[in-house]
Structure 1
Amino acid sequence: MSEPVPKIVHVITRFVNGGADENTLLTCNHQAEAGFEVWLLYGNEFTKRMLDLLDPRVNAIAVPSLVRDASPFNDLIALVSLARLYRKIRPDIIHTHTSKAGFVGRLAALAVPRAAVVHGVHILPFTDEPFLKRTIYLLLEKVAALRTHAFIDVSDGMRDLCLANGLGNVTNHFVVRSGMDVERFRRAAPANDIATLRHETPGAVVIGYVAVLERRKRHRELLQTLLPLLGRHKSALLVMAGDGPERPLLQKMIDEAALAARVRILGFRNDVESVLAACDICVFTSQREGLPRSIVQYGLAGKPIVVTRLPGIEAVVRHGENGYVVASDDFSGFASSIEKLLENPDLRARFSQASADADLSPWDARVMGEKIHEVYAQLFSDRGGRPRGQRAWPLSAERQNSDVAEC
């Protein structure tokens, strides 16, 4: 008689075209392919594209009251809704992602005391915030940490920040890189629209930025910083792939500077790998992040990278070897770093080769899936428990898949 299949519930605030969302998508699909019973509970913001990309075996349920902004009324309803869903599903693992779902989802897990709770640390909400907001956010994280058996951090920097602020301990933090199809970025051909733009500009050097157009990504500051540089370097072009609430304002800034021919907002792109293949320099100016997937993709594409300092960034960008890492508030230094690369093709080529030679295999989606599975297995081993009706957590995802196929 076959044993019951372990149940895993993932909870995320938004299921849109963002890094944490893609990470969750790939994790759900990997686990569904391995034969687990997988559930995804997502909030009121989602895209049809992301839902369509889910493995059909993943049970996806919208929780409309799960919203990104603070809303005591909605948050209470979301708490009750998640608790009811947990009691109905009776999961072995609850794996939360992002800040709001992380807090509400872990608190709701009190309704199912048998479940092991894992929180994915993609970003920490209390970093780079005013004192009062930081204090409140940190307090909420500490409360949620009381109902957390394991933390999965996207970078060493995220882990270290958690530990420095009293969230968890060295034994229940696990660094698992945010996975992707690494070969897709290594072998891509340049996007046709950017190739055409390059053809129209003699000696063009294309600067690329891939990020959701939201305030914390600081596209405004990047544009303001690059205006003098674009004036000095007529061959420099800037393309920004992404969409979001900042787009109208950014387009207005571009139009007022009469730079529409040289600065393009590309909108959301399914072919990010081709966008990057068409770029000569890649940049990232966010102030508050984990380790952005875009930066890893820049490295996979073999590009020189200019970034603001973020936790764990040194795993991908080695200052002076394949790019420049600049202090978060030093936009003058950021512009100077870009200008060095604009003026020196040999330096660009050297940095490009260094990026291409880097070992970024830990970011392979398959590696991520297996490492998350190992965390689950170790968690059950350490707790001395097991999934409901099972002798132990399955040894490997592949073994679980094989066992299910034989039933």
Structure 2
Amino acid sequence: MRIMHISSPKTWRGGEQQLIYLMEELNTLGVWQIVLCPFNSMVHKYCLKNHLNHVTYFKGFSANPMVAFRVSHICKREAIDLIHVHDSHAHNFAVLSSVLSKNEAHIIVSRRVDFPIHSGALSMFKYNHPRIARILCVSAAIRKVMLPFIDDESKLEVVHSGIDLGKFKNVKLDQDLRAEFGVDEKTTLAGNVSALAPHKDYQTFIRTAKRVIEAGKDVKFLAIGDGPLRKEVKQWIEEADMSNHIILTGFRKDVVAMLPQLDIFLITSETEGLGTSILDAQAAGVPVVATKAGGIVEIITNNENGMLADVKDDEMLSKHVLHYIENPEVRAQHANHGKKNVERFSKQMTAQKTKEVYESVLGRLRDIPVKE
């Protein structure tokens, strides 16, 4: 089989990491692939550095017909069997390629966000286009959200995202987190790794932290990451009089070394496709307190390998954090259970399941013609 992936962001977030994990693991499974990505994007730079098969394009805008024609050209030149699109704009380009130049390659769509698609005619058209062979949802929660919008529900499949389980083994702690931020050894370190973005609901994070501090606990909270709401989050922290208790670390390249140094991982998302940062925390041996957003409930079993609360329920979230602080044996137990649980979410397993989807689609298409 010959697969072309399409990516459209110039930045690097969870979706781009999942694309690279998938490509690298499919390579080990003997699948021929090429990725079409924006020139000078983070994916482009990674492919150059790591010798992954790729071609580039200049995006322009989200429905650029010139990109669609480039998709068609590459499909014809490389005899592509399937196009795998990894974001909404990539999806646009693939469907446009079929519409404008009669590209016959079928399309696999990865869906990683748990909010409904727009119910307008264009969105319904692109998700139900006859060339769409499968929509891979990274959680059952996303599949449920997508069901009302998809004419043929058999095209919806769940393939969980996966992580690199090996990256937290034998981690070298080049930077002592406590020393860097002046945190005493007796102080509990709680935090998360995520973009400072609206769906991460940092207002609930701040309210939760404030409740814990008001309960008289010695805790320092870290928000590891950057994003469009950095200025607003900083302002919310100041307004809550929490500047001495919450640290915005900004973007970090040493997350693998930072995560194991946390005592508690606290994530307060309002929406979440699956929650790969939670998987990372479990792999690093850190117990998790999280909201029941999206696919998080497919990772965390409450009071077994983590603690769950309803979205925006800062009172219950703070009670869970306090429970972990006051019961270190429970914290250790949940961390151990988390390490065992996360083995279900390896990048190797994601690639194997995705390959099986490719094989199933190609086998079916040999027997069933597409109706235009």
Judge same fold: TM > 0.5, yes or no: yes
Correspondence 1:150 to 2:134: yes
Q: State percent identity of aligned pairs.
A: 21
Distance in 2 between residues matched to 1:57 and 1:189, nearest whole Å: 27
Correspondence 1:271 to 2:261: no
Correspondence 1:370 to 2:365: no
Post-superposition shift, 1:328?
Answer: 1.7
Distance 1:330 1:234, change over 3 A: closer
| Cα pair 1:308 1:328 within 8 Å, conserved | yes
Q: Kindly provide the CA deviation profile for residues 100-142 of structure 1, in whole angstroms up to 9, marking residues without a partner as x.
A: 3224433423435431211112124427xxxxxx4338x6145
Distance 1:60 1:43, change over 3 A: same
Amino acid at match of 1:161: V
Single out whichever of 193-202 and 115-124 deviates more from structure 2.
193-202
Distance 1:167 1:100, change over 3 A: farther
Distance in 2 between residues matched to 1:22 and 1:149, nearest whole Å: 23
Amino acid at match of 2:355: H
Distance 1:88 1:210, change over 3 A: same
Distance 1:30 1:385, change over 3 A: farther
| Cα pair 2:84 2:107 within 8 Å, conserved | yes
Post-superposition shift, 1:340?
Answer: 2.4
Distance in 1 between residues matched to 2:47 and 2:249, nearest whole Å: 22
Distance in 1 between residues matched to 2:274 and 2:68, nearest whole Å: 29
Distance 1:325 1:191, change over 3 A: farther
Amino acid at match of 2:192: Y
Single out whichever of 219-228 and 20-29 deviates more from structure 2.
219-228
What number of residue pairs does the alignment pair up? Answer: 366
RMSD (Å) for aligned C-alpha atoms: 3.1
| Cα pair 1:186 1:302 within 8 Å, conserved | no
| 1:350 match | 333
TM-score (norm 1): 0.78
Correspondence 1:204 to 2:187: yes
Structure 2: which 5+ residue stretches go unaligned?
none
| 2:97 match | 108
Q: Kindly provide the CA deviation profile for residues 11-53 of structure 1, in whole angstroms up to 9, marking residues without a partner as x.
A: 1231532111101112223344555543222358933785357
Distance in 2 between residues matched to 1:209 and 1:276, nearest whole Å: 8
| 1:330 match | 313
| 2:366 match | 384
| 1:59 match | 54
Which portions of structure 1, spanning 4 or more consecutive aligned residues, are displaced by more than 6 angstroms? none
Post-superposition shift, 1:385?
Answer: 6.4
Amino acid at match of 1:381: G
- Secondary structure of 1:312's match? helix
| Cα pair 1:106 1:144 within 8 Å, conserved | no
Post-superposition shift, 1:149?
Answer: 0.6
Distance 1:344 1:292, change over 3 A: same
Amino acid at match of 1:157: A
| Cα pair 1:28 1:58 within 8 Å, conserved | no
| 1:94 match | 83
TM-score (norm 2): 0.85
Distance 1:336 1:76, change over 3 A: farther
Correspondence 1:126 to 2:116: yes
| 1:166 match | 150
Distance in 1 between residues matched to 2:132 and 2:328, nearest whole Å: 49
